[in-house]
Amino acid sequence: MSRGFNFKNKPTNPVRTTKLTATAPAATTAPAQAVFDRLPDSAWLREAQLVRSAKNPDSAVAPLPFSAPTLWRMVKLGTFPKPTKLSTRVTAWQAGQVREWMAAQAAA
């Protein structure tokens, strides 16, 4: 008899389950925004630090109120600053450029 999962998504051995309770993220909202505000203009920000994501619950406190696909659409259209390629797999924006864009959006 094998342990774990068979390929029909049914467990072969009994597993205890526990009920998960949700915690309120309100306590982390203000400090995360404060961290963004304290960053120097030369700091590098990656996509996960800028936009909200359903996969990452901590991103609910991201400084930009839209998703990653919207961010890349805006970059392509030229309405958001282009990122800098730091290495083969790392793309980032400077905090100062993001702040300037946010200020321009607030003024418009």
> How far apart are the C-alpha atoms of 75 and 3, rounded to whole Å?
48
pTM beyond 0.75: no
Q: Residue 1's pLDDT is what? A: 54
Going from the C-alpha of 26 to that of each of 13, 21, 29, 39, 58, the distances in angstroms are: 39, 15, 5, 21, 11
Provide CB contacts within 8 A for 99, sequence distance 6+.
41
Residue 52 domain-assigned (yes or no): yes
Residue 23 domain-assigned (yes or no): no
Q: Residue 20's pLDDT is what? A: 47
Residue 93 domain-assigned (yes or no): yes
Q: Residue 9's pLDDT is what? A: 58
User: How confident is the model over 1-19, as pLDDT tens digits?
Assistant: 556 555 565 555 555 555 5
Q: Give the range of the structural domain holding residue 80, as residue numbers without chain letter.
A: 33-107
Residue 65 domain-assigned (yes or no): yes
How many domains does the chain contain in total? 1
Residue 70 domain-assigned (yes or no): yes
Q: Are 94 and 83 in contact (CB under 8 A)?
A: no
User: How confident is the model over 49-100, as pLDDT tens digits?
Assistant: 888 777 766 656 788 888 899 999 999 999 999 999 999 999 999 999 999 9
Residue 8: phi and psi, rounded to 5, are -110, 15
Helix (H) or strand (E) holding 48: helix 47-50
Q: Give the closest residue to 98 by CA, choosing from 29, 40, 30.
A: 40
Residue 87 domain-assigned (yes or no): yes
User: How confident is the model over 29-49, as pLDDT tens digits?
Assistant: 455 567 788 899 999 999 988
Residue 91: phi and psi, rounded to 5, are -125, 135
